[in-house]
């Protein structure tokens, strides 16, 4: 019952986002995305569905191939990946039981954080975006490495929280929602939060997928209205990404995931260093 209510509200959120985005597409008269951008959308969302995450790999691809200006990468990530993430939520969120109050409050907190964060990030100058994303990528790698090296808490059996633990979960998810608008993927830190609070590892999936699916339409509406994203790149992520979710969810049975995760870590570290070097160069140029 709860899952149906959550998905029904998510459907309304997504409809709101689609209406705003379609209006923006008509106003900008954007052309079709290139095959390269469609490939970015397909590949990153394919691996996102398998649990690797999409924000950091997409940032690395955009930066390495010089497809999107650094300043508007956060907005492009949020707008472009919204529809694929919503599809993931509809596929997976009904499979795991979570205590209703815990899930509802954490979803609301994530949306509130993203709604606030999107306005702030939309107005940041390029140097601050480069610096923020460089740090964000390193944070993401840190969480990925903790999980890959089995250094994160192992979790417990709880499917819900009360008292101080519930307050901590809500506050932290608010912060994670705000940080996601800067390009920090929510999956890894949300999983660490769930484990640390003694909840069942399975509970991480509806919480992190639901949080992303709820907050991204809210944040993306802000990015669209502020025109702080790349239209063609976002369209490429969405159009290429939605079918990739179905392929990964229903057709893929086995992949060398450990090798792929280490490869992604290496690429993200390289991109983080590149982003921080760009920020340093921007600071030097401003000082002259």
How do the domains of the chain map onto residue ranges?
A: 2-23+32-287
Q: How much is the pLDDT for 254?
A: 61
Q: What is the pTM of this model?
A: 0.78
pLDDT, residue 62, reads 93
Average pLDDT for 238-265: 80
Report which of 25, 31, 61, 65 is spatially closest to residue 46, judged by C-alpha positions: 61
pLDDT at 280 over 70: yes
- pLDDT confidence bin for 32, thresholds 50/70/90: confident
For the chain, report the end-to-end CA distance as a whole number of angstroms: 61
Mean pLDDT of 87-91: 86
**Dist. CA 146–CA 50, nearest whole Å:** 18
Among 34-38, 64-68, 161-165, 205-209, the range of highest mean pLDDT: 34-38
Q: pLDDT-derived band of residue 245, with 50, 70 and 90 as boundaries?
A: very high
Give 192-235 as a DSSP string. Answer: HHHHHTTB-GGGHHHHHHHHHHHHHHHHHHHHHHTT-S-HHHHH
Task: Retrieve residue 246's tokens.
Answer: 């179905």
Whether 44 has a pLDDT exceeding 80, the answer reads: yes
Instruction: With a cut of 70, say whether residue 6 has pLDDT above it.
Output: yes
Residues 279, 138 contacting (CB under 8 angstroms) = no
Alpha helices in the chain (DSSP H): 2-28, 35-49, 55-65, 73-92, 100-122, 126-148, 163-180, 187-196, 204-225, 231-250, 257-287
Average pLDDT over residues 77-94: 88
Q: Which among 239, 253, 235, 249 has a CA at the least distance from the CA of 90?
A: 249
Give per-residue pLDDT as tens, 129-139. 778 777 877 87
Residue 288, helix vs strand vs coil? coil
Mean pLDDT on 186-207:
77
How far apart CA 14 and CA 219 sit, in angstroms, is 11
**179, pLDDT greater than 90:** no
Q: Which of 29-43, 89-103, 104-118, 207-221 has the lowest mean pLDDT?
A: 89-103
User: What pLDDT is stored for residue 257 in this prediction?
Assistant: 60
CB atoms within 10 A of CB 200: 17
Please give the structure tokens belonging to residue 34. Answer: 């290139």
pLDDT for 233 equals 95
pLDDT at 61: 92
Least confident of 30-39, 58-67, 151-160: 151-160
Res 45: pLDDT: 93
User: What mean pLDDT value characterizes the chain?
Assistant: 83
């Amino acid at each position: 019952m709860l899952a149906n209510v959550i998905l029904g509200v998510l459907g309304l959120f997504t409809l709101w986002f689609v209406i705003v985005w379609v209006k923006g597409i008509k106003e900008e008269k954007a052309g079709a995305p290139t095959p390269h951008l469609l490939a970015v959308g397909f590949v990153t969302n394919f691996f996102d569905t398998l649990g690797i995450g999409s924000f950091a790999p997409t940032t690395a691809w955009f930066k390495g191939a010089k497809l999107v200006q650094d300043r508007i990468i956060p907005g492009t990530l949020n707008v472009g990946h919204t529809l694929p993430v919503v599809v993931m939520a509809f596929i997976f969120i009904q499979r795991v039981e979570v205590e209703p109050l815990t899930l509802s409050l954490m979803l609301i907190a994530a949306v509130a954080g993203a709604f606030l964060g999107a306005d702030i990030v939309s107005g940041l100058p390029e140097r601050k975006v480069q610096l923020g994303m460089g740090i964000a990528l390193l944070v993401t790698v840190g969480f990925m490495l903790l999980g890959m090296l089995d250094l994160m808490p192992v979790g417990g059996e709880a499917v819900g929280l009360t008292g101080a633990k519930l307050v901590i979960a809500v506050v932290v998810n608010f912060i994670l929602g705000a940080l996601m608008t800067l390009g920090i993927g929510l999956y890894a830190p949300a999983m660490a939060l769930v484990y640390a609070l003694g909840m069942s590892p399975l509970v991480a999936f509806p919480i992190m997928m639901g949080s992303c699916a709820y907050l991204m339409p809210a944040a993306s509406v802000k990015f669209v209205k502020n025109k702080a994203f790349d239209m063609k790149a976002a369209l490429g992520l969405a159009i290429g990404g939605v079918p990739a979710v179905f392929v990964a969810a229903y057709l893929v049975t086995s992949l060398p995931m450990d090798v792929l995760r280490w490869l992604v870590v290496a690429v993200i570290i390289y991109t983080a260093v590149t982003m921080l070097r760009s920020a340093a160069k921007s600071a030097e140029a401003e000082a002259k």
